[in-house]
Amino acid sequence: MATFLLIPGAGAGPWYWHRVAPLLEQYGHTVITPDLPVDDDTAGFAEYTDTAVAALPDPVMQPLVVVGQSMGAYTAVRTCERVSAALLVLTCPMIPRPGESGGEWWASTRQPDAAREYANAQGRDPDAPFDPLELFLHDVSREVVTDSAAHVRDQSETPFAAGWDGPDWPAVPTRVIAGRYDRLFPLGFMQGLSRERLGIEPDVIDSGHLSALARPDDLTALLIGYLAELKVA
């Protein structure tokens, strides 16, 4: 059995994983969903990482799988520099590179151009006002969308001023999962970024940006499959 440390993305908390965590637990695994201080303006990625590491039990049931969603990739990578992880999984991630802040990431990866091109290709207005339903929740069930309103948190801008210092990617096997219908990080963009920065071909899940809410069974199946590759039941 393994321990899964599930790290949410921007403006999210443990609830983001509420559809995946019980599925992993049904397999007998331990699931940890840290409550990061995302709405605390005094906290950055260092504090997020402290929180993630502190949430782990002592001792940790091995192997440890660290999963980071979207902006949570920054915290996941930093966490793997501090703990003994068997696997790092990044879902629809902001894949960091050394010295690049969270704020610089957007321009340096040309994410706005990719999102705009994808919107045009789908016939959506790339200049439309921000709408979380259209960008993030377009493929999530109505019931979960309704429930999500009580769990959205104001994301502090503090983490975006810092990043990952590197200089070397943690010596941990890494997998990347991209969303086929992700409107924030379109599939082609995510594939190119993963290849360029990690030399990894992402696995693709039939979801938008929030795969844990839209396709929890598919995401869980991928995670369990990765464990099988580690020869863990």
Tell me which residue of 13, 72, 88, 82 sits closest to 50, measured CA to CA: 82
Distance CA 47, CA 36 (A): 8
% of residues, the chain, pLDDT over 90: 91
What is the predicted pLDDT for the residue at 146? 95
Cα-Cα-Cα-Cα dihedral sign, residues 156, 11, 204, 173: positive
pLDDT, average across residues 71-89: 97
pLDDT range class, residue 232, cuts 50, 70, 90: low
| Average confidence score pLDDT of the chain | 95
Please name every residue paired with 198 in a beta bridge, in sequence order, or none if there are none: none
Topology (CATH level 3) of domain 3-229: Rossmann fold (3.40.50)
